Amino acid sequence: MSNQEPQNQEKTAEEPALEKRRRFIKGAGVAAPVVLTLSSPSVFGALCTSEIMSGNDSQHTGGGSCAKGYPPSYWKTQTSFPFPYNIASPASRFDDSNAFNTNSANGQAKIHDKMKDILDNSTSAAFPYYIWVTALLNSVSVANYPFDRGDIINLWKTNQPGLPNNDAGKNALLISTWS
């Protein structure tokens, strides 16, 4: 399947009105990426958060449920990270404000390591920060991933209702979200 060419190239009497309307954007507000989305059922089963939590790993056909993310080994071999994170220049770090924003001021470990280094050194780290980096990168790049970026960050910062409330449980939950 290829990209289609624009269907309607002819100017009409409505074009000037459209031009005038299009040029004005009101205020700041919240960005609405799409006006309308139509979904068609997927024949490829994927797990949603509830199924992941219950440990149901069987494939099934569903109505367009969640998709699994990429494993740490995938992100380890990438030459770029998905927006808004960078492998280099400047390298994104675990404690960046758009990442986990860790802060040593309140007794919490700062974790200033680069995300790339965390992935590369995953086998030697005392705590598996690479799991969180992997989940974060998946959250901004995988369509229908069970968690969005805010979910991952909130899960790191506090316990979330209905989700594991200890490190081991949270780590296991995130691991279950990729193949």
Binding region for another protein (CB under 8 A): 1-4, 6-8, 14-15, 18, 22-28, 31, 33-42, 64, 80-84, 86-90, 140-145, 148
DSSP state of 21: H
Q: In this complex, which beta carbon is closest to another protein, that of residue 29 or of residue 161?
A: 29
The CB-of-82 to another protein minimum distance in angstroms stands at 6
Q: How far is the CB of 9 from another protein (least distance, A)?
A: 9
| Cα angle 100, 172, 131; round to 5 | 40
Beta bridge partners of 178: 69
Q: Give the number of other CB atoms < 10 A from CB of residue 110.
A: 13
- Measured from the CB atom, the residue of 2 and 123 that comes closer to another protein is 2
Q: For another protein, which is the closer residue by CB, 33 or 162?
A: 33
**Consecutive H or E run containing 156:** helix 149-157
Provide the minimum distance between the beta carbon of 118 and another protein in the complex, in angstroms, as a whole number.
18
Nearer to another protein, 22 or 106 (CB): 22
Nearer to another protein, 94 or 145 (CB): 145
Q: Which amino acid is at 60?
A: H
Q: Do 112 and 92 contact (CB within 8 A), yes or no?
A: no
What residues have CB less than 8 Å from 94, skipping those under 6 apart?
100, 102, 111, 112, 113, 114, 115, 118, 129, 132, 133
Name the minimum Å distance from CB 76 to another protein.
16
User: Nearest approach, Cβ of 31 to another protein (angstroms)?
Assistant: 4
